[in-house]
């Protein structure tokens, strides 16, 4: 894989090659690694409601990840981000 600067980097999480890294991790891994994956929007929302009841995390909401096509929890204002 070549870029304009002829540099490729190796992700420390998935060990895949990519053009850019964020703190030694590729964008896909930054988006998914370490996050809980939910199989449906309903299940993710149920988890968010549970967190709200337990810890008053009203800002927590479900969103579909563009990398793994599953659902994660995050800031409710940024539902399309991954």
Write the pLDDT tens digit of every residue in 24-73.
888 888 778 888 999 999 999 888 887 776 556 566 788 898 888 999 98
**pTM to 2 decimals?**
0.62
Is 81 within 8 Å of 63 (Cβ atoms)? yes
Does the pLDDT value for residue 76 go beyond 90? Answer: no
- CA–CA dist 25, 14 (Å, integer): 8
What was the pLDDT predicted at 43? 93
- CA–CA dist 47, 1 (Å, integer): 40
Looking at mean pLDDT, say which of 3-12, 17-26, 33-42 comes out highest.
Answer: 33-42
Residue 80 pLDDT class (50, 70, 90 cuts): very low
């Amino acid at each position: 894989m070549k870029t304009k600067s002829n540099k490729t980097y190796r992700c420390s999480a998935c060990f895949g090659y990519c053009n850019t890294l964020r703190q030694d991790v590729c964008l896909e891994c930054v988006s998914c690694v370490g996050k809980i994956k939910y199989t449906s929007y309903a299940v993710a929302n149920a988890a968010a409601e549970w967190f709200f009841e337990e810890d008053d995390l009203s800002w927590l909401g479900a969103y579909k990840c563009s990398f793994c096509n599953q659902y994660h929890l995050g800031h409710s204002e940024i539902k399309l981000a991954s």
